[in-house]
Structure 1
């Protein structure tokens, strides 16, 4: 999606009003422009030529009419040319002759290097649109991309109708090709069966089968797991798992599926056959993929629950055993001291007490947990039964699959004992229990071993399932081996990495030596000490000196800005950024659609539902807001709108005082919710059920990435994913450093982030327990010996370098998300060459980071400031979203993403508006000669909300801004054509 600089590309008319910001950013005349106009045209013709010039430069399209020219632009043109402000009447008179208008257009095109589109360019455009249409989600998006393609190649954009006709033709061709793929892949009998089944009534659910499939998973429970499995059975009975449609991008599949998701079943029946077939097939396909992920995720959680239950039960049992053991010792002690009884009697009683002790030696705690888990065989069997129905695949002779197949055969045959000659490999931890004499208990132990190992193997990728998004085969997620072999050089060039590990290791080793020298220097200076416990100790950071002026300046600044209504704020930022056009993939057609869009943003981004928002706005009804909320669930639109707003915020010079935009912090924020929400977990701090919203906050305060997450899980993957996707949209290199807390860091994560071109900088908990890991044989100062571990081997890095590069290139190219990649190659993948390489490399990089962190006070201060800045933005988000996520909200993945993206967009709107007002106020003060030091401004930020009214009655000032935000009416276009 084009950025802020492409806002007017493809427009054929100007809005009735323009802001001063728009005039200076999009329609500015340079000194060379003025000189060329003065040289070419006589005095009374210069204004018209200038308007054509600036409009062509901003839009790449000829100006369709001059009946509505903004007064701000006319005033600017007159001022730059040294002329009286031109009037619309004079320009209309000037352009009454078509030849005059045509001559000005030809001159402007020649001056800007624009050329008319010819047959060859039409052919190139059509070919490019065919390719882009395979990924674009709507026709409007395809046309936007086509306009930008023409603009970047300096080709004059043709009339909208001509381009739209071509777009419709290409779009129809893509749909025909997709239908042909479906006809070749999906048997007609399966299609007819699916179509008939979806409109039938579900016996148990009391609704149509289509509505039943639309219902997202409820809370984590055995009932939810059973219902999810029932849906997968239904889809597999139709044959959905055999439909190979992987050539269609998954986002494209989701776009077609969402249409059925957002439509009532009766309306689906009214669609023409081809459209219904497209939507139906991809709805069923995407539903199966997501349900499979959901089932495996629920299974993993269920296994964790069973293990945790066994752990707690074992702990209680061991505590009870310890008490009983002590009581026996006390009784024996009393018998030893009892001189009133004969020795023979006391020895006999002591023998009785000792006889109660088991003969076998005490098992370890882990072994005891495994025994307790085996006793819970009924719940394990209820969990294994559905898994045996799924068609897992894996590596050759994968032990997990062999165990699962054996258990399925035994269950089918009704066997209750494990045969002695079962022939299935058993891990050392479970071997004693599986080989015991009690064959019933041996079968139970095998079942417990199978369910725990399957969970681990799914996470590491040695076992997979084909009809899944997150648990696919590794080679399906990564760049295929043949492609990697042929395009390896290109990927390495994009990553800026060497073909072998040696140059990278040499450079890292030199940096480690410098870091260790700096750390030793800090130790000698007393800034770092090594205590008797053999750990590093840091003194607290000293607060920067302040005289209170920055705080008073901030208060005066926001007092001068004054209060604001949220409705006014949203429309003002929309006028300057056009985020509503990004969300709709076009301008709003009328005021009702525009206000419905604002209402949908609030319904998603606050705790207020559609009815509540409609009561606050009173300009639209709840139904219109609910329908528009579905539009915000379309993939990518909220993220592109957020990028547009952040880009606008960063255009203000004041943001350069806060940072360079090349550093950021990332952390999660909890949103309270019902325990019935599928993604809900207990927040460990507040002990309430919540979901996480993970955000990346620039050092300039804008939020550049957001994603909903599950709490209590490692966040290194989402931290890396957000940075990679942000950097992929930037031409200045993007982020170079990302500050995270302990949850956002792993050794593998540090290695992957470094190879992707940025540093992961964790604020580690318990720094005193952190060791410095160095390669074997590396020299260092003797005084640092207590905190150094020479346990790093460089051989795994060299051996696994190619696989590690392939993983990183796959993340960079978008084939796999960093979240999934770090799950597959995290701690569950121990023993894998890629994991060993990343783990060893990550430890070295962590050592280098710790050297900088301990020795460089300013670096440590900057890291803490970045994280504190992120917390201040989270405070603003909590002000906007003050309540809980409703129990009926956020059950679907798309809806949860829309909630996260809408909250982020509302937050960015406040930050951008505050930044613009702060800049304007500071400029006004300085214009009056009032002193405002940059050092004062550097210590204040725009994440301020006390002056904004987010609640109450909201009235959007449509009369002020609708001319700039709404699409031109048909009669206006006709008048200007």
Structure 2
């Protein structure tokens, strides 16, 4: 989706009011423009010609509308050309003859190299729009893409009605084609049954079946698991799991499904048959896929709970056993010291004390946990019974599936024991328990082994379900094998990677030699020491010299900026960036819709719900806010609005002092929530249930990527995903270095990141991870020998190189997210060739990074600065979102993404507003001769919020900005003018 440079593309008239920023950025006259205008036109025609020129350049459309021109543009044109211009004017007052207007437009088109659209252009546009319509989510998106397509090819954008008619016909054509595919794929009886049954009353819940299916899962309790399984069972009875509709992109399937979610059931019956079929089918299919993922996640959480409880029971049992053992030893010690009793009496008493002591050798803690887990057989059996209904598939001879099949057979036959001689493919850790003489206990052990093995198999991709999004067959997540063979060279060229591992390893080895030598020099200089524990140590970074002036200057700066109301800030930033037009895919039609959109953004991005926001905004209805909250869940819109705001913030020169936009940090922030959300986890620091919001913060302070995550899980996948998706939208190379904490990296993650074109730079916590891993043939300086481990297998990297390249290319192309990829090929996939290659390569890259981290203090300071900058942005986010996520909110995936995206957008609005105010204030000070060094500004940031009032009555200053933000054409059509 085009960024800020496309803000005015496709408009056919100017707003009545315009900001100075927009005039100078989008409607500027260059020196060559002025020379051409002055040479070609007489003095009284120059202003009109210049306005036609700058409008054509900004919009790609001729200016024909006779409405009033913005006085800011008139004043700017007059000042640049040195000609008098009226403060109030329109094309009608500037052009008395239509022929003159037409001549000026022809000249402007020729000067800019624009061609009028012809039959060939229409044909090319139509073909391109048909292709784009297969992925665009709404007709408005399709039209905006078409305008940008014409603009980039320097083709004059035609009249809005002609373009809209073409868009409507192509959109209808695509919908007809999809409906035809549905009718050819799905039997008519299934379609008719699905259409009829969704409007019936559900027996248990008392609502319609459609509303019952819309209800998202709650906590990961047995009741929720049973209800989720009932919904999956119902959808499979309709045949939804057999519908082969993968030809339609998943995001487009979601967009059609969301139309049903947003409608009241009574309105669905009013749709025409084809539209209802389209939306219902994709609603049922997407619901099945998401419910399957939810069920597998809930059962995974349930298994984790059972293992955790077994661990706690084992720990308590072992503590009691240790206390009992100590008491027996003390009693024996006392008996030994009792001289008045005979030796025989004392031995007899000692024998009594040791009589019930088990004779078998002590087990390891893990073995004790497994034994305790088998005692929880009722809950494990209930969970297995639920999972039996799912159509699991897996690799040939997958142990967990064979165990599940055997357990199912035994349950169906009513057996309560595991028959002797059963062929059970159990791992060595479970073997003793399954081969136990107590055959009931053996069956319980088999059930526990099956449930834990099934969870591991799903995570590593050796077990899968076809009607799932995240737990599909691993090869289905990647580029198909035949396609990879045909397009391998193209993907490698895009990634700038060699086809063989040797070329990459040789280059990496040369870098390692240089960095190891530099680290040895740092050791000789005393900046690094090797401790007796065999690990690298370094002293703390020295604080930069300061005399307090930067802090005093910062305080003076924000005092000069003054206080601000949140509503004023939002509207001003909208006027400067046009983010509301991105969220709606068009300009707001009236003031009520615009204010309701702001209310929806606040309701998603803060702890305040729609009803409370409506109470804070006079004359606003909560239902209208709720409707627009659903609109904000449309995929991609919040992300594109955030990009607009970040682009605006980065236009200010002060941001160049903070960074170049090629470095960032990423970390998660916890939002408190109810334990009744099935993805809520206990925050390890605050011990409260929470969800995570993972953000990527640029060195220029803006948040460029966000995603909700589950706490207490490795974050390397989401860290990589954020960089990949951000870089896809950049022409300047994007991010080259990402700083993360220990949770944000793994060895596999470091390898994948490097192959994708950027460096993952972790701040390590564990001393054990400070070893330098090298291949055997690569020698290190003698003094570094204590911290070097020659454990890297270059053969493993070579053997898994092609599979690793295929994985990276699949992530780059967007076929699979880095989050899912690192789950399937991460530590759960130990033994896999791709995992082993990535793990060995990642350890080599970590060695390269540690050499820089220990030997280069400035590099280390930069990494810490970036991470601290991210923490300051998290503080601002907590000021915006002060409460907790309500129990009834965030259960749906799209809603949680909207909450994360809205919070990010509100945070970026504050950062951009502060940046703009800082730039204006600094420029004014310097014009007055007041000294302020760039070095001081470099150490200040825009994540300040003490001067902003986020709460209270929200009064949006519509009178200042509505002429810039509202769709003037729609207003004139509504009034009949």
- TM-score tier, shorter chain, comes to over 0.9
Which deviations, in whole Å up to 9, do the C-alpha atoms of 1:213-270 show, x marking residues without a partner? 1111111211111111111111111111111111111111111111111221112122
* 2:975 is aligned with 1:946: no
- SS of residue in 1 equivalent to 2:198: helix
Query: Structure 1 residues 780, 89: CA separation in 2 closer, same or farther (over 3 Å shift)?
Result: closer
* 2:42 is aligned with 1:27: no
Q: CA deviation at 1:333?
A: 3.3
Q: Which residue is 2:919 aligned to?
A: 919
Rounded Cα–Cα distance in structure 2 between residues aligned with 1:789 and 1:768:
12
Rounded Cα–Cα distance in structure 1 between residues aligned with 2:972 and 2:323:
89
- Could you tell me whether the CA contact under 8 Å between 2:588 and 2:967 is conserved in 1? yes
Equivalences for residues 578-727 of structure 1 within 5 A: 578-727=578-727
Q: Which residue is 1:771 aligned to?
A: 771
- Could you tell me whether the CA contact under 8 Å between 2:589 and 2:971 is conserved in 1? no
Q: CA deviation at 1:972?
A: 4.0
Task: Please say which of residues 534-543 and 377-386 is displaced more in the overlay.
Answer: 534-543
Q: Which residue is 1:495 aligned to?
A: 495
Q: Which residue is 1:63 aligned to?
A: 63
* 2:153 is aligned with 1:153: yes
Rounded Cα–Cα distance in structure 1 between residues aligned with 2:325 and 2:614:
68
* 2:47 is aligned with 1:51: no
- SS of residue in 2 equivalent to 1:260: helix
Which deviations, in whole Å up to 9, do the C-alpha atoms of 1:709-759 show, x marking residues without a partner? 111111111111011100100000000111111111111111111111111
Rounded Cα–Cα distance in structure 2 between residues aligned with 1:569 and 1:212:
40
Rounded Cα–Cα distance in structure 1 between residues aligned with 2:748 and 2:458:
18
Task: Please say which of residues 336-345 and 4-13 is displaced more in the overlay.
Answer: 336-345
Which deviations, in whole Å up to 9, do the C-alpha atoms of 1:620-641 show, x marking residues without a partner? 1111111111110111100000
Equivalences for residues 764-803 of structure 1 within 5 A: 764-767=764-767, 770-803=770-803
- Over the aligned positions, Cα root-mean-square deviation in angstroms equals 1.6
Task: Please say which of residues 701-710 and 514-523 is displaced more in the overlay.
Answer: 514-523
Q: CA deviation at 1:92?
A: 2.2
Query: Structure 1 residues 87, 882: CA separation in 2 closer, same or farther (over 3 Å shift)?
Result: closer
- Could you tell me whether the CA contact under 8 Å between 1:65 and 1:976 is conserved in 2? no
Query: Structure 1 residues 90, 719: CA separation in 2 closer, same or farther (over 3 Å shift)?
Result: closer
Equivalences for residues 122-271 of structure 1 within 5 A: 122-271=122-271
Query: Structure 1 residues 710, 517: CA separation in 2 closer, same or farther (over 3 Å shift)?
Result: same
- SS of residue in 2 equivalent to 1:389: coil
- Could you tell me whether the CA contact under 8 Å between 2:590 and 2:971 is conserved in 1? no
Q: CA deviation at 1:320?
A: 2.1
* 2:888 is aligned with 1:888: yes
Q: Which residue is 1:328 aligned to?
A: 328
Q: CA deviation at 1:349?
A: 3.5
- Could you tell me whether the CA contact under 8 Å between 1:461 and 1:473 is conserved in 2? yes
Aligned residues: 977
Rounded Cα–Cα distance in structure 1 between residues aligned with 2:101 and 2:546:
62
Equivalences for residues 525-604 of structure 1 within 5 A: 525-604=525-604
Rounded Cα–Cα distance in structure 1 between residues aligned with 2:349 and 2:833:
60
Q: CA deviation at 1:86?
A: 4.7
Q: Which residue is 1:391 aligned to?
A: 391
Q: CA deviation at 1:145?
A: 0.2
Q: Which residue is 2:836 aligned to?
A: 836
- SS of residue in 1 equivalent to 2:962: helix
Q: Which residue is 1:100 aligned to?
A: 100
Query: Structure 1 residues 364, 901: CA separation in 2 closer, same or farther (over 3 Å shift)?
Result: same
Rounded Cα–Cα distance in structure 1 between residues aligned with 2:622 and 2:442:
60
* 2:65 is aligned with 1:74: no
Q: Which residue is 2:120 aligned to?
A: 120
- Could you tell me whether the CA contact under 8 Å between 2:66 and 2:90 is conserved in 1? no
Rounded Cα–Cα distance in structure 2 between residues aligned with 1:92 and 1:314:
87
Rounded Cα–Cα distance in structure 2 between residues aligned with 1:600 and 1:643:
19
Which deviations, in whole Å up to 9, do the C-alpha atoms of 1:680-711 show, x marking residues without a partner? 11111111111111111001010000111111
Which deviations, in whole Å up to 9, do the C-alpha atoms of 1:333-366 show, x marking residues without a partner? 3333333333333333434444423232222221
Rounded Cα–Cα distance in structure 2 between residues aligned with 1:970 and 1:464:
51
Rounded Cα–Cα distance in structure 1 between residues aligned with 2:931 and 2:330:
81
Equivalences for residues 864-875 of structure 1 within 5 A: 864-875=864-875
- Could you tell me whether the CA contact under 8 Å between 1:47 and 1:86 is conserved in 2? no
- SS of residue in 1 equivalent to 2:740: strand
- Could you tell me whether the CA contact under 8 Å between 1:373 and 1:448 is conserved in 2? yes
Q: CA deviation at 1:97?
A: 2.4
Rounded Cα–Cα distance in structure 2 between residues aligned with 1:936 and 1:853:
26
Which deviations, in whole Å up to 9, do the C-alpha atoms of 1:818-856 show, x marking residues without a partner? 000010011100000000001001111111111111111
Task: Please say which of residues 630-639 and 540-549 is displaced more in the overlay.
Answer: 540-549
Q: Which residue is 1:851 aligned to?
A: 851
Which deviations, in whole Å up to 9, do the C-alpha atoms of 1:48-95 show, x marking residues without a partner? 111111111100011122422111111111122121125655852453
- Could you tell me whether the CA contact under 8 Å between 1:536 and 1:768 is conserved in 2? no
- SS of residue in 2 equivalent to 1:911: helix
Rounded Cα–Cα distance in structure 1 between residues aligned with 2:974 and 2:309:
72
Q: Which residue is 1:340 aligned to?
A: 340
Q: CA deviation at 1:328?
A: 3.0
Q: CA deviation at 1:970?
A: 4.7
Query: Structure 1 residues 673, 928: CA separation in 2 closer, same or farther (over 3 Å shift)?
Result: same
- Could you tell me whether the CA contact under 8 Å between 2:75 and 2:87 is conserved in 1? no
Rounded Cα–Cα distance in structure 2 between residues aligned with 1:345 and 1:311:
41
Q: Which residue is 2:520 aligned to?
A: 520
Rounded Cα–Cα distance in structure 2 between residues aligned with 1:941 and 1:64:
45
Q: CA deviation at 1:588?
A: 0.3
Rounded Cα–Cα distance in structure 2 between residues aligned with 1:678 and 1:949:
34
Rounded Cα–Cα distance in structure 2 between residues aligned with 1:925 and 1:374:
73
- Could you tell me whether the CA contact under 8 Å between 2:140 and 2:586 is conserved in 1? yes
Query: Unpaired segments of 5 or more residues in structure 1?
Result: none
* 2:809 is aligned with 1:809: yes
- TM-score by length of structure 2 reads 0.98
Which deviations, in whole Å up to 9, do the C-alpha atoms of 1:358-383 show, x marking residues without a partner? 23222222111111111111111000
* 2:938 is aligned with 1:935: no
Which deviations, in whole Å up to 9, do the C-alpha atoms of 1:5-30 show, x marking residues without a partner? 00000000011111111111111111
Q: CA deviation at 1:678?
A: 2.3
- Could you tell me whether the CA contact under 8 Å between 1:400 and 1:454 is conserved in 2? yes
Task: Please say which of residues 426-435 and 318-327 is displaced more in the overlay.
Answer: 318-327
- Could you tell me whether the CA contact under 8 Å between 1:64 and 1:976 is conserved in 2? no
- SS of residue in 1 equivalent to 2:298: helix
Q: Which residue is 1:736 aligned to?
A: 736
Rounded Cα–Cα distance in structure 1 between residues aligned with 2:93 and 2:442:
97
Rounded Cα–Cα distance in structure 2 between residues aligned with 1:571 and 1:436:
71
Which deviations, in whole Å up to 9, do the C-alpha atoms of 1:755-782 show, x marking residues without a partner? 1111111111134652111111321122
Q: Which residue is 2:451 aligned to?
A: 451
Task: Please say which of residues 50-59 and 82-91 is displaced more in the overlay.
Answer: 82-91
Q: Which residue is 1:278 aligned to?
A: 278
Q: Which residue is 1:467 aligned to?
A: 467
Rounded Cα–Cα distance in structure 2 between residues aligned with 1:90 and 1:123:
35
Rounded Cα–Cα distance in structure 2 between residues aligned with 1:122 and 1:960:
40
- Could you tell me whether the CA contact under 8 Å between 1:602 and 1:902 is conserved in 2? yes
Query: Structure 1 residues 80, 376: CA separation in 2 closer, same or farther (over 3 Å shift)?
Result: same
- Could you tell me whether the CA contact under 8 Å between 1:66 and 1:976 is conserved in 2? no
Task: Please say which of residues 592-601 and 179-188 is displaced more in the overlay.
Answer: 179-188
- TM-score by length of structure 1 reads 0.98
Rounded Cα–Cα distance in structure 2 between residues aligned with 1:970 and 1:833:
60
